[in-house]
Chain A
Amino acid sequence: MNKELIKIFQKSLTPPPENSPSLIWEKILKREKRLARTRLSIFSIVGTVSFLGLIPIFKILLKDLAKSGFYEYLSIAFSNGGTLSLYWKELSFSLTEALPVISILETASLVFVFFLSLHYILKQIIRPTQQKSRLGQLSLSF
């Protein structure tokens, strides 16, 4: 390496502004805050929509269960112990067949989306609080 050239290059260096590190850190924190807020709003909307969607979907599920005769098979299972011990195989087949699969899947997926959103919402609320308390201790050492 040419030592003279190194000297020449380093002599003409432009130093950054003195507050440059704190400006960079502040920008990162601002961006993080904005991202957390955006995530929070998105997950809140998704959570609310899935929760509201659960009401009609659940009603449809109950209706489908009634229509398919599921309750009747279920009541047989609980009414007579002797019948159940004799025909438990047939009864369980009938019960399975009577399940409204599509309605159950719809309800389950909505419940899943709702809990997933709830999980992310809580994560967004808890994480910034933890970070804030840690950063408060540091109070920008620059």
Chain B
Amino acid sequence: MPSQKTDEEIIKLYQEGAPEIFQELIEKYHSQIFSFVARLTGVSNAQDLTQDIFIKVWKNLKKFDSQKASFQTWIFSIARNASFDFLKKKKSVLFSDLETGDEPDFTETIPDENLLPDEVLQKLQDSSLLNKLLDTLPIQQKTILILHYQEEITFAEIGKILGKPLNTVKSHHHRAILELRKKLN
């Protein structure tokens, strides 16, 4: 049964020498991490990658500092790094796609909600079409969409996960939405 403890309480107990409490973190986050990784790298790789991510978390949890970032941000950063490394190894993503040097930094005045008209949203109801479209997007944009809409993480937190400024995240998101609309029209 999932406990009522907060992440900070669980981590504190773990750091004080109760390793078995880690199971509560697994219980709490495995589903989110699995879905995130499955969307980024494919369902067939998700189980192994999720296990590797939790092993990394286990190895580094003693060093985790809740003053610097929330546990959710931290675990998603690890998941993102592991997924990007996996894609790099598989060579399905170019290194240059992951290391974006010149970040577009424009602030649009059009709200994102207005960018996708109803008929486009209707088409996106088809899950396989959504997955196909996501696969055509650059990896950074894809990651931002997944984190924002699937995991409901704010742009500010996504910025911390990806190590990018807030405006860059927003403009990547904006471009991704425009791209989706273009492809569906």
Contacts and interface: CB of A to CB of B under 8 A. Distances in A.
Bound together: yes
A25 B50 CA distance: 11
A2 B130 contact: no
B162 interface: no
A37 B148 CA distance: 43
Contacts of A131: 19-20
Contacts, number: 92
Contacts of B47: 16-17, 20, 23
Contact of B121 (A4, A10, A31): A4
A134 B20 contact: yes
Contacts of B55: 27-28, 31
Contact of B51 (A24, A138, A142): A24
Contacts of A25: 22-23, 26
Interface stretch (B30-38, B70-78, B82-90, B91-99): B30-38
B146 A9 contact: yes
A16 B127 contact: no
Given A20-B50, A28-B58, A141 B23 contact: yes
A21 B58 CA distance: 14
14 contacts: A4-B121, A5-B149, A6-B149, A6-B152, A12-B131, A14-B35, A15-B31, A20-B31, A24-B26, A24-B50, A24-B51, A25-B22, A25-B26, A134-B19
Contacts of B27: 21, 142
Nearest to A27: B51
Most buried by B among A8, A11, A17, A134: A8
A24 B54 CA distance: 7
| Binding site secondary structure of chain A | helix
A140 B23 contact: yes
Q: How large is the interface on B (under 10, 10 to 19, 20 to 34, 35 or more residues)?
A: 35 or more
Contacts of B121: 4-5, 8
Contact of A11 (B23, B58, B127, B145): B127
A20 B23 contact: no
A13 B43 CA distance: 10
A135 interface: yes
B39 interface: yes
Contacts of A4: 116, 121
A1 interface: yes
A31 B134 CA distance: 35
Nearest to B23: A25
A21 B30 contact: yes
Nearest to A11: B127
